[in-house]
Amino acid sequence: MPKLFSLLLCLIVGLMFLLSSIIVNKVNNKDKLNKISIGISFIVMLGLIIFDLIPDLLEMDFKHQYLIIIIFSILGLMILKILDLFIPDHHHKHKVNEKNKLEHNHHLEHISKITLFSLILHNIIEGSLIYSMGIKDIKSGILIVISVLLHNIPLGINIFNSIKIKENKLLVLSLVLSSFMGGLILFFVGNISNILLSIVTSLTLGMLLYIVIFELFKEIINYYKDKDIYIGISVGFIIVLIARII
């Protein structure tokens, strides 16, 4: 029974991304939502890197631990850089005005696609963690799900506010089911070695670092005079703080 309940927790986490898409559809001012969600995502991803991924990697203990972390983090960053070459319309050199609005929207869609790709990988790992916690202690499993939801919902808003869902159904479905897949892997396979877990986590770290530094930060700079960005950043800090307290 605890195994099935833990799988249910993993599924709930993924389904919350659908809640994000509903929120996006209900909001009329897409431009304002874009700016706020960029600010939120920047801080939430930064918090994810600093308070979750890096500590998780440092807790793993095996031979050549730090070398593997560095190599595969760089590899993860390079993978997204290569993906940049195959995903068109993502130039940073544009002014935020009506004349360049279409170009800017293409760029935001590009960020959403590579964010989505990275989160799928991250959520598989996170799903396995939720599953493991749920089996050990149901209360702990529920608490970690609440914590995860606090950063999944704003990230989902950022993705679905820019991406065309109908044209990316397979990617969106993969995102929604990614946490469940992580739990399902442990359900059938059992424990995963620290080395393999470290490799996948390091790849995710590199990818998220790329998005934060080379994509979202440049968007923050573009909107540095806009109060909506600072609203998003403030909300992001609150979300990260609540997630830490829980």
What's residue 42's pLDDT? 92
Helix (H/G/I), strand (E/B), else coil: 136: helix
Sign of torsion over alpha carbons 3, 6, 12, 17: negative
Min mean pLDDT across 22-31, 125-134, 139-148, 214-223 is at 139-148
Of the chain, the percentage scoring pLDDT greater than 70 comes to 88
For CA atoms 128, 45, 161, 214, the dihedral sign is negative
Report if pTM > 0.85.
no
CA distance 114 to 207: 9
Confidence of residue 177 (pLDDT cuts 50, 70, 90): very high
Q: What is the pLDDT of residues 35-71, one digit of tens each?
A: 898 899 899 889 889 988 899 899 888 888 999 999 9
Integer angstrom CA distances of residue 11 from 46, 158, 188, 200: 25, 21, 16, 21
Instruction: Please state the rounded mean pLDDT for residues 28-35.
Output: 84
Percentage with pLDDT > 90 across the chain: 23
- Enumerate the domain spans of the chain: 2-245
| pLDDT higher than 90, residue 237 | yes
Other CB atoms within 10 Å distance of the CB of residue 138: 15
Between 209 and 109, the higher pLDDT residue: 209
